[in-house]
Structure formats: C-alpha cells, structure tokens
Structure 1
C-alpha cells in the first residue's frame, strides 16, 4: 500500500509540473507592441543650410497610422538649453507633400536656426525631423564708394 501511494504521489507531482509548464508556455506574452512603421516627418522646403528672409513657406510631410498632431518649432543653433519656439499652433490634420506652415522670420534676429517638425502619435511618442537654416533679414550696410580726387 505504501509503494502504491508513492507511485500515485509521484504521478500527481509529474502531472502538476506538466500542467504548470503548459499553462506558462501557452500564455500570451504581455509585452509592449513594437513601434508602428509608416510614419513620416519630413521637411522638403526649406532645405538644410538654406538662407531665408521674410515670410517663408514650410513644405513637407507629417503622417503616421496613429497620427495625433504635428508641431513646428524653431530654436537657435547651437541650442544648449533645448529652447524651442512654436511656429503656429499644433495641427491635428495630416499633410502629405504640402504646406505645413507659413513662418514670418522678420521678427527673428539674423543667425543660424533649426526648424523642428514633430509628428506626435496617439500614444504620445513622436518622430521628428530637424533642418538648419540661416536667417538673413538685415539689409547689408552699403559700403561707400571712394571718390576719386579731382
């Protein structure tokens, strides 16, 4: 009787371990989903390094399958303090190869700046594109022409 009880206990233990393994292996993993492909943040105009003055159209693409909005900002180069200024308000509509914003650069001091396009997804994550431009609104000071002695 004791031998029979040990065999039954051993079988129960093996079945219990097998059941535990099957339940663990068969359970779905609850990892975060991979980032979705297909989103684009692209500024096609102005081009990197372009010199700008006056009112400028910013052209590009801001799309994503989980799109929430896009934002445009500008900041000085270098931007050691990560200081960005909005170009217009956030836009809740996707744009493909079109007008993203109109930027009036006349109130910005001459210098090198970065334009940042940020496409924000519904989960709060984002994709961004940065291009550097040079603002040149100041008129050059005319150089006087030397007069010839008479």
Structure 2
C-alpha cells in the first residue's frame, strides 16, 4: 500500500492520466492531456492526488448550495494494472475522505458502472452506499 500520496503537477500526472484515458478507449494525446490537466488543476475545478506512478484520483469540489457548504465528487480513479490489488485504490480513496472531512465537506460522492463488481465492492467496504430516489440525467452537447 502506498504511503506517499501527493498532489501532482499536471506534467507528472499527464502520462498516467493518458494511460487511464486509453484504458477507456481514448487515443493518447500527451500535449493536450497536459494542457487540459494544467487548466483544470490550476483553476481549482479539479484536484488530483497521486500514489507515485501507481495510480491517481481526481476530485471536483462542488458547492452544496442549500447547506452553504461543499460536496466532493470523485471524478476519476485509476491504478495501473501492475499495481492493482495492492491497496493503492483504497489508499487514494481514504486520502480523499480524510481531506474532505478535514475541509468540512458534507459528503464524498462517486459514480461507476453498475456491472463494475470489483469497484462496487471496494466502495461499499469504505462506506459508500447507493443513492436511491435520484436519477442521473445527461444532455449531450456534441
């Protein structure tokens, strides 16, 4: 299990992030990936944590308007195949939970595919529960 989880620079995270994108069928695009990460990390729209070169997690911190607080939304979680089943994903998730709690966030949320049994088991073991009574809706713009 990794002990050193850090906030990476865009340049450090870009190769691993491009590998993650390729895992989901996107073509590698190193220069654009680096620029995209730089834009979103420096603007504060996205926060990232890395466990060395083994894996990373990204979080969008969103306003929780009614409660005048924040909610953290895990956007991406990736561990290289060679590093899986070694506690890296769990360590990254725990790190985000501690950071969110320390920041006074109301909750940490995430979404995954319904057939991703391994991820669902991991998330459940950390206390994440399905949300009932809500629907996820999208409007595709392109």
Q: Which has the higher strand share?
A: 1
Look at both structures and tell me which one has the larger radius of gyration over its CA atoms: 1
TM-score exceeds 0.5: no
After TM superposition, the score normalised by the length of structure 1 is 0.23
Instruction: Identify the structure with the greater helix proportion.
Output: 2
TM-score of the two chains, using structure 2 as the length reference: 0.24
Higher relative contact order (CA 8 A, sep 6+): 1
